[in-house]
A = this chain, B = another copy of it.
Amino acid sequence: MDRNDMLAALKAVQAGDMTPEAALGLLVQAPFEDIGYAKIDHHRQLRNGNSEVIYGAGKTAQQIAGIVARMIDAGSENILITRMDGEKADFVAKSAPLFYDPLSRVGIANRVEKPLVGSVVVASGGTSDLPVCEEAALTAETMGSRVTRLYDVGVAGLHRLLSHLEDLQSARVVVAVAGMEGALASVIGGLVDCPVIAVPTSVGYGANFGGLSALLSMLNACASGISVVNIDNGFGAGYLANRINRMEGIRQ
């Protein structure tokens, strides 16, 4: 509810078209539906064209299916579900149309085609990072961005990365996914002029400490134009990449 909505409500009170009590109710009423174990924000799709996203890890298959059902009833399309294991996906698929990618554990309920625009590059250093990459790529695609995947282009073999220089330099946003030492973000950051979103992954062992090495490395990247999301957070990177990719130009 923004300033304009508030002013409209207040004018309705002034005009006698609304009681103060009703206006108050309106002002504090949250645009969500409470189904006991969750509060669903049905207005989100109206506002920005994307449905609310369901974080599957902490929910039972029943809860996910329940939320999906309510959202489809309310007209949502392309409902993104992250971190949902295969067993839960099987359950959800019984009651709703579901696309499911087992690698990234991403599900998309009530999927419909929509035009993809702009250019997001998702780059990664090794095959072990693919689940996180695909979470990012599918998220951005579901929200309307065109995605180019550049996988296995780690810094230990620079020629692999450099052979894709043109793809990188024509991107509007790059998502750089890397585990171990996370150097990919720095190297890409030095090659492109667009925003780079770095995603550290927990891939590695020993002094990797669950992704800490890549995280610290990326936060300390010596190239400019880089920012970082949480370890393994492909969704967050894809979501932000889509937001940046789809920015409009400055209106003069």
Q: Which residues of A contact B (CB under 8 A)?
A: 1-3, 6-7, 10-11, 13-14, 16, 19-21, 23-24, 27-32, 37-39, 41, 47-48, 53, 55, 57-59, 63, 117-118, 125-128, 130, 151-152, 154-160, 162-163, 165-166, 169, 172, 179-183, 185-187, 189-191, 193-195, 197, 200, 202-233, 235-237, 239-240, 243-250
CA distance A128 to B55 in the complex (A): 10
A199 to chain B, nearest CB (A): 10
Q: What residues of B have a CB within 8 angstroms of the CB of A154 in the complex?
A: 222
Q: What residues of B have a CB within 8 angstroms of the CB of A250 in the complex?
A: 117-118, 172, 245-246
Q: What residues of B have a CB within 8 angstroms of the CB of A245 in the complex?
A: 250
Given contacts A14-B20, A128-B58, A157 and B30 within 8 Å (CB-CB): yes
Of B16, B118, B187, the contact of A183 (CB 8 Å cutoff): B187
Question: Taking CB as reference atom, which chain B residue is nearest A25?
Answer: B163
Q: Do A181 and B190 touch (CB < 8 A)?
A: no
CA distance A239 to B222 in the complex (A): 13
Q: Do A190 and B230 touch (CB < 8 A)?
A: no
Given contacts A16-B14, A194-B243, A206-B211, A229 and B227 within 8 Å (CB-CB): yes
Question: Can you offer 30 A-B residue contacts whose CB atoms are under 8 A?
Answer: A28-B165, A32-B160, A37-B127, A37-B152, A57-B128, A57-B205, A117-B250, A126-B222, A155-B183, A155-B222, A156-B222, A180-B222, A181-B182, A181-B186, A181-B220, A181-B222, A183-B183, A183-B222, A195-B240, A204-B220, A206-B211, A206-B220, A206-B233, A207-B212, A208-B216, A209-B210, A209-B216, A225-B243, A226-B229, A244-B244
